[in-house]
Structure 1
Amino acid sequence: MPQLTDEAVTGDSGDGPGTWMSPQEYGASRAVLWAGAVVLVTDTDGRILVQSVDYRTDRLLPGGAVDTGEAPSAAAAREMREELGVDGSYLSGLAVDWIPADTPGFPPEMRFPGEILHVYDGGTWTPDRIDEIRLPAREVTGVGFAEPADLPALMDPGDARRALSALRARINGGGPALLEDGRPTSPTALDRLGALRSRRTPHHGTWHPGPVPALLPVRDPSAWLFAPDGRVLLLICRATGSAHLPPPAAPPAAGDAHPLGYRYADEAAHPRSAARLTRLPPAADPAYARLLATPEQVRELADWGPAGHAELAAVHTARTRLSLPAPPRTPLTELPSEGTRW
């Protein structure tokens, strides 16, 4: 930082280390940037709230400019009240983005200087909360919930990158992401693998505990494989970013598996089993990254519908039965391709 001095005291000597500047000169040298605040809200299926406005063709997250002297979190609350008619407090940050001055889309006469934009976590809204939305008479013309992978088709490219980065930061649980034009400066495993860039396959239907009944067709068996810290094994396809539970593992990769339950959909059972993971052999398929995640993080990367709540409860019951701890939300850990042992 340049050293500040009073010209009346020091004159023009410029003696001393560093660059000597008057307060006026230092103030004039500082970058001028706009400030903004938006809020990321999801529904219970993990879709993102976006709004249509009368002055743009693409969709936006709710939010807007930070007024002079206003804190960004206060701006977020004000914008949500003005645009959606809902009161709330938004203090948990998901991302801070630097938007460069040469970003396309700003009229030259606006003299856009660049912007620092704060993304706050608006949480997951239930249908009752969504029904409380009241749109203003002008500006916001509609709201909807979009699949994360659909954002690039609905939004400005930078806005879509920012929203996806913020959502990954929320799921990852490692704190707010620092972004430059929507791109993380320190990408997480979810960022590097491009999680949620492809549409999630819906796996709805009804949840049933216990083994699959005889004669019921079985499709796509998968397993909840628990590491000693209570997290579970998750596969992410490197080509698509799609997240999947692994297939049931044969010993000695895991202990004895037991049926956890099954989803009934499309006239077939989709069974889940549960087992303690004692070691992980070398990766057999380099197309998939292997990560450890909490059960909640797995669910947030999937589209399981209402049955996801019942399955998640069954997963925690199985974890307790295996005498494993309840894992706190921590950043997802990518496991080495050569495997590991616990």
Structure 2
Amino acid sequence: MPPRLPISVVDLEPHAAAELARAAGPIRADPYAEGDVFARQVRAAAASLPQGDLTAVVDHFAAQQGSSSLLIRGVPIPASLPRTPAGSFHQQPEARPTGAEPVLALVGARLGEVFAYREWDGAHLVQNRYPVASHHQVQTASGANDLVLHTEACFTAYPPDFLALLGLRPDPTGQAVTLVSDIPQALAQLTPAERGALREPLFVFPTDRGSYDHEGRRTTEPVPLLKDRADGPALEYSTLITAITAPAAAALAALEEALGRCAQSVLLGSGDLLLIDNRQAVHGRTAFRPAYDGTDRWIQRVLLLRQLPSGGRVVPDTRLAHYPTDYIKALALPA
């Protein structure tokens, strides 16, 4: 297997940034209150986006040619931003669009259709991620502890094909580093026996709402981590997964070590847009110390599917019934 590339980095030229801002201008709908209208405007703007260096590099990435993540620097964002909110964005009555959402969604539209999970973030098509004090110890993007390496929405019926993360405000401490690790590169470091073990239904998540018993603890039903698809192997992964046999545990440990060796670090600054191929990469974030004073790290995110399911762009999180009770309570999710 030829060596995989690290994260590709593109610096957007000022004229290209201005062109992108102009193309996003007609996208005026509120993504939080007018999701369907916003999505239609994004699709129309994407169709009229002039062909150039930016579209070429994003289309190259979308075709899985090269790296599994792409960092675009110099994306235009508003010169003035509100203070980083204190609570969950969808629960803030004063929450309004920042003005960065159209550009984020417009670039994302080169990769797929924007969609959302019904139970998360008020079903917003653009999600806002920043530290929330009450989530400090929770394993989530709004917490401050290490966000473990994972594929986004693993084991749900509708995992995104791509993610797009736009830096609005960087972490002033420089501690919150995004990690991305290439899945094919990591799998190539495993033995055939280890990859074979990953294909067996031998892996569970511990949860007090689980239906399976493993060594006296309730867990989800065992599933394989690695599946073979027409376009290549597909890995669904989180560091929180547990193996139920010794060979599976050894394969899981080897995978975790390989993903760690392949991990690349990105400190997202203002106007940095990170595109992640969720079929080809896992991602996470290092721990940091928020001040909760309006100056903390703030990113916006869109999830993207190559093709929307028949039900539309707001889909259910089919894993919800198995989330631990304390996690559901901490994030105020529907039980």
TM-score normalized by the length of structure 2: 0.29
Whose radius of gyration is greater, 1 or 2?
1
Query: TM-score scaled by structure 1?
Result: 0.29
Structure with greater proportional strand content: 1
